[in-house]
Amino acid sequence: MLMFIMAGGFLAAFVDSVVGGGGMISLPVLMATGIPPHLVLGTNKLASSISSLTSTLSFVKSGRVDKSLVKRLCLFSAIGGAIGTTILHWVPSSFLRPMMIVMLLVVTVFTLTRKQMGDQRTYAGLTGKSAICLTTTAIVLGGYDGFFGPGTGSFLIFAFLLVGFDFVGAAGNAKVLNLCSGLASLSMFAVFRSIDYRIGLAMGLAMVFGSLVGSQLAIKKGTRFVRPLFLSMSALLIAKQLWDFLQ
């Protein structure tokens, strides 16, 4: 079982470090361990936060993160994450599934039809309009991450693509915000005692290596690697969530 947890964690972190969506792999792995359902989300958040920290450091070290921009947005992402997890403690999140499927469909179709989007960086700095849009996105998706989660990384990448970042830069910025909302969410799961630390830390250890491999590949291979993986994971997320919704 430990090998199963660590193999699943490695694969989930590899995917998540590049384009998000790792929860589609790690959550079923954790559920298969037999831990109580109310501990699954918190345990996954512990492991994924370790993964996010690793891949974030890789992107920052490579210079593919716009530090001045993400510094403005991190606090909003963290506030959203804490609020989302607090609400989750009282309200089931399953009603968000249909909305998430529609949003992912829009993101995937838009990215497919705009073939040049994300090929080159055209971002020249914040304007009043882009500042409002990104701030709103940070707090809303931070809340979504803490409350429900699937697709958060994909939505963040798409938001940064829209304001002019290339795929690798968008992935790097997205990882920083995902880390901030994840840590805030994790702190609330800890307050509610909804974490199995033994399993979470074991999976998190494997995720460190998955994150390192994934983020380094994304940095070296660039848009030609990230774009098809982004579209593939978006399609798989849509299929998985649609399947769960129809059951």
User: Which band of pLDDT confidence, cut at 50, 70 and 90, is reported for residue 97?
Assistant: confident
Please report how the helices 223-246 and 97-113 are oriented relative to each other, as an axis angle in degrees rounded to 10: 150
The model's pLDDT over 184-223, given as tens digits with 9 standing for 90+, comes to 999 999 999 999 999 999 999 999 999 999 999 988 888 8
Using CA atoms, how far apart are residues 56 and 58, in angstroms rounded to an integer?
A: 5
Six-digit token pair at 201? 């830390």
Q: How much is the pLDDT for 92?
A: 77
Average pLDDT, the chain: 89
Q: How much is the pLDDT for 29?
A: 92
Mean pLDDT, residues 35-51? 91
Q: How much is the pLDDT for 117?
A: 72
Mean pLDDT, residues 119-144? 91
Q: How much is the pLDDT for 143?
A: 95
* pTM for the whole structure: 0.88
Six-digit token pair at 124? 């020249």
Mean pLDDT, residues 85-111? 80
Mean pLDDT, residues 86-106? 80
% of the chain with per-residue pLDDT over 90: 58
Helix/strand/coil for 76: helix
Answer with the residue of higher pLDDT: 74 or 35.
74
User: Which band of pLDDT confidence, cut at 50, 70 and 90, is reported for residue 139?
Assistant: very high
User: Which band of pLDDT confidence, cut at 50, 70 and 90, is reported for residue 145?
Assistant: very high
Q: Do the beta carbons of residue 206 and residue 6 sit within 8 Å? A: yes
Using CA atoms, how far apart are residues 146 and 181, in angstroms rounded to an integer?
A: 7
Q: How much is the pLDDT for 149?
A: 84
Q: How much is the pLDDT for 112?
A: 76
Using CA atoms, how far apart are residues 177 and 73, in angstroms rounded to an integer?
A: 7
Helix/strand/coil for 147: helix
Using CA atoms, how far apart are residues 123 and 171, in angstroms rounded to an integer?
A: 14
Using CA atoms, how far apart are residues 163 and 46, in angstroms rounded to an integer?
A: 31
Domain ranges of the chain: 2-246
Q: How much is the pLDDT for 204?
A: 96
pLDDT at 91 over 90: no
